[in-house]
Amino acid sequence: MVPVLFSDLGRKPYQEIWEFQEACLQKIVAQKIAARTDPDIHPDLFLFFVEHEPVFTLGKSGNETNLLASQQELLEKGIDYFKINRGGDITFHGPGQIVGYPIWDLDQIYTDIHRYLREIEQVVIQTIADFGIKNGSRKDGLTGVWVGEEKICAIGVRTSRWVTMHGFALNVNTDLENFNLIVPCGIQDKTVTSMKKILGSHIEMDQVKSSLKRNFEKIFPIKLKDYEV
């Protein structure tokens, strides 16, 4: 099993964590380069959970027209907006949503980004099933996790030298009204849901986080170790 350093970062603004991810990625890339001449060096792998302050993020292949709100509306609602370097289009992050950032050297796991995405989806599918949502699924050609025709989890990643960053965003108790200000993931004819909406009551975030961690260890060949940032 590959050791992965885990930390729950709590509630943080997006830019702070984006910069933190970039620093972790660059650290791992440097360790990989150093390991070419020193076999005793083993690059770190990280998994971080966070709740973000309200923010819209647009992936590098995204279309700005999928942001339906004006800059003034964003200012009034206290929602940030960033164009970022992950795949995918536009999405919302905010309180009540668990965002997971695996910053992994895939050379230590497997160098197959398609498999990596499908297995992150499977982690989420099994996690929501743990809470009684048994019909989580994939849709051909659309990355993420769906319940019926509604998306419950968005996924977007970036890789550099087989090191990943960004990750997934699972709607637990998320205020879904914020998704009305965008075309979520750039998909015109689909809507967004949450565990709270489906189950009809508030869900304990710590319970969902514990389930996610268990399922990461079941599906990927990893062992999580608590890590203090």
Query: Residue 175 maps to which CATH number?
Result: 3.30.930.10
What whole-number distance in Å separates Cα of residue 114 and Cα of residue 179?
A: 27
Q: Is 79 helix (H, G, I), strand (E, B) or coil?
A: coil
Known catalytic membership, residue 185:
yes
Of 183, 185, 208, 224, the catalytic one is: 185
The candidate with the shortest Cα–Cα distance to 101, out of 16, 43, 193, is 16
Number of separate domains in the chain: 1
pLDDT of 188 higher than 90 = no
Is residue 6 within 8 Å of 229, Cβ to Cβ?
no
- For the stretch 27-64, pLDDT in tens is 999 999 999 999 899 999 999 999 999 999 999 989 99
Per-residue pLDDT for 2 more than 90? yes
Task: Name the burial class of residue 137, with classes exposed (0-12), middle (13-18) and buried (19+) by CB atoms within 10 angstroms of its CB.
Answer: exposed
- Token look-up 């076999």 returns 39
Q: Are 41 and 66 in contact (CB under 8 A)?
A: no
Please say whether the beta carbons of 62 and 128 come within 8 A: no
CA angle, 64 then 70 then 72, to 5°: 140
- Over residues 87-129, the pLDDT tens digits come to 889 999 999 999 999 999 999 999 999 999 999 999 999 999 9
**pLDDT attached to residue 190:** 76
The amino acid present at 12, given as its one-letter code, is: K
Contacts of 5 (CB under 8 A, 6+ apart): 44, 45, 46, 47, 224, 225, 226, 227
Q: pLDDT at residue 186 above 80?
A: no
Residue 216 pLDDT? 98
The amino acid present at 181, given as its one-letter code, is L
Which range marks the domain in which residue 23 is found?
Answer: 2-226
Mean per-residue pLDDT of the chain: 95
